[in-house]
Amino acid sequence: MRSALLICAVLSIVPLSRAFANPLDVRAEVETRVGIHHVVLGNGCRFGVVPSIVITKPPINGALLVQTEIVRIPDSDPNCAGQTARAAVIYYKSVVGYHGADSFSYEQVPDSGQVIDVELNVK
């Protein structure tokens, strides 16, 4: 009889990374973290490979930077609060002198099938 190892991948998304009901406030011309993605495997708080982020619609009035960083898991996480993990982190910076609305969309790959829309209010 064959046995299969089942690995459950759960995308843990810090509240900065979701479809926003209200725009996220960011300061003009300041590089601001607007999204964090890490993968937790199963319930044992084992961290998987850092997901790749693909920008599907770039911002019109700013620029994005996506990089891998070591982040602290927020206390709101029911399984891994306070631990550290490698994560894909998204930063936004407006163009010089711009104030107002901006937005962008991205998807985690491979094949997440979920496009995340982010609305920004540049102050």
User: Which residues, including other chains, have CB under 8 Å from residue 97's CB and lie 6 or more apart?
Assistant: 28, 29
1 assigned to some structural domain: no
- Tell me how many domains the chain contains: 1
Tokens 């996506």 sit at which residue?
A: 66
Question: pLDDT averaged over the chain?
Answer: 83
What angle (nearest 5°) sits at the alpha carbon of residue 16, between those of residues 13 and 22? 125
82: CATH = 2.60.40
33-66 pLDDT, tens per residue?
Answer: 999 988 888 777 888 888 899 999 999 999 999 9
57 assigned to some structural domain: yes
What angle (nearest 5°) sits at the alpha carbon of residue 113, between those of residues 108 and 114? 65
6 assigned to some structural domain: no
19-37 pLDDT, tens per residue?
Answer: 556 899 999 999 999 999 8
Q: Which of 4, 27, 12, 3 is closest to 122 using CA atoms?
A: 27
9 assigned to some structural domain: no
75 assigned to some structural domain: yes
